[in-house]
Structure 1
């Protein structure tokens, strides 16, 4: 199985602290060593980094720790291959264009015998069940709306579409278009919001503690979504099975 990391922020924020702990799970503290990727939205633009090597040993991952990029929406993934060979085209996150926006998707889980009917516009490049599911979601969103709908409308449509995928297996995923971050849990996903008054945080996967009060302003805020909690001294909330949450400006949208 794979692991997911997402950040949705009120102001542009770097993922250095979270990514440092998360990266260790790509081959050091866990066995997700079959590729990794991370996507940073910058307005309508997108910086995407992918590698079929393990995140723990990747020079590119090391570079990103030394050269932090700031974004309001970040999606990262470390892979344990189940469906599809270890190859660059099978590394998450995957990206597609819809309604003049970039969409980013990363998945954790197995979908058995999942072969949805796909039209010509959204087709997988690699061989994973994850990319097929992403293409199908994009196809059905396109069919459901003539143009870019509101975040709430998109959330309502996703709630209708997701059960058509989950009947094939586990469908933990992160999805973002740079405006919001959607997170769906089939089995295992956790979240928290870091905001004023900021406090200390200590990573589980390596020896690093930071005082966010010295690094942030009162208006800063970040929602962090991850498969299993990254820190040992913060209060993480577990998603319920089959729960879909959407985050905007660093907060869950009710």
Structure 2
């Protein structure tokens, strides 16, 4: 299986400290050595870098950490290949354009060979079940709402319903973002922590590095970090419930309406 890392922040932040520990899981402190990728937003547009090699031994991954990239939303992934060969096209996150915004998606799990093929506007480029699921989800949204984005609460409910349908095929932990909102769904294992005043001093689990968050954040900063497994000691990481979908915006968790008020979503 793979591992996921997501960050949602009130203001643009650097994810360098989290990356220092998380990317070691790509071939050093864990066995996810078949590729890695990072997606982040600059305005409405997503930037993405992917590489079909172990993140822990990647010069590119090291440069990304050193650049101190700042964004309000990050999605990061280290891959252990299950479906699809070791190639850049099969590395997460995946990116598509919908409703004038870039969407990023990364998945941890196995949805099986019975996952339907996508027959709509969005088609996979690689061979992974993950990218196919992403395309299926976006095609369902287009079939349901057309080319005009619905209100956030309606969209949240639609994504929740679509995710539940796709999860019938197997394990579906994922991160999804349009640059404003970050969706995180747990099937088997996912944790999150919210960082706000008073900030703590924390230590990475994967290496002997500490940071005093109070020295690097302002009083009004608010950051939510989501990960397959906790990244730090000294913080109160909260486990998702199996099947739970959470949405984060500007560092805070938002409520999701669970019931659709319009017709049910169906596969294209």
Deviation per residue, 1:104-129 (Å, 9 max, x gap): 00000001123324224211000000
What is the rounded CA distance, in whole Å, between the counterparts of 2:154 and 2:17 in structure 1? 33
Structure 1 residue aligned with 2:72:
72
What is the rounded CA distance, in whole Å, between the counterparts of 1:131 and 1:155 in structure 2? 20
Q: Which moved more, 1:176-185 or 1:138-147?
A: 138-147
Asked if the contact 1:151–1:180 (Cα under 8 Å) also holds between the matched residues in 2, the reply is: no
Structure 1 residue aligned with 2:218:
217
Give the structure-2-normalised TM-score.
Answer: 0.93
Q: Which moved more, 1:152-161 or 1:20-29?
A: 152-161
Q: How many residues are treated as equivalent by the alignment?
A: 254
Asked if the contact 2:191–2:238 (Cα under 8 Å) also holds between the matched residues in 1, the reply is: yes
Residue 151 in structure 1 maps to residue 146 in structure 2: no
> How much does 1:162 deviate?
1.5
Following TM superposition, the consecutive aligned residue runs of length 4 or more in structure 1 with deviations greater than 4 angstroms are: none
Deviation per residue, 1:115-148 (Å, 9 max, x gap): 3242242110000000000000010011111311
Asked if the contact 1:114–1:129 (Cα under 8 Å) also holds between the matched residues in 2, the reply is: no
Asked if the contact 1:124–1:131 (Cα under 8 Å) also holds between the matched residues in 2, the reply is: yes
Unpaired runs of at least 5, structure 1? none
Structure 2 residue aligned with 1:81:
81
Residue 232 in structure 1 maps to residue 194 in structure 2: no
Deviation per residue, 1:47-73 (Å, 9 max, x gap): 211000110011110001111110001
What is the rounded CA distance, in whole Å, between the counterparts of 2:190 and 2:119 in structure 1? 31
Structure 2 residue aligned with 1:99:
99
What is the rounded CA distance, in whole Å, between the counterparts of 1:141 and 1:86 in structure 2? 30
Structure 1 residue aligned with 2:55:
55
Residue 165 in structure 1 maps to residue 166 in structure 2: yes
> How much does 1:159 deviate?
1.8
Q: Which moved more, 1:81-90 or 1:110-119?
A: 110-119
Deviation per residue, 1:24-77 (Å, 9 max, x gap): 100000000000000110111222110001100111100011111100010000
What is the rounded CA distance, in whole Å, between the counterparts of 2:141 and 2:54 in structure 1? 33
What is the rounded CA distance, in whole Å, between the counterparts of 1:244 and 1:115 in structure 2? 21
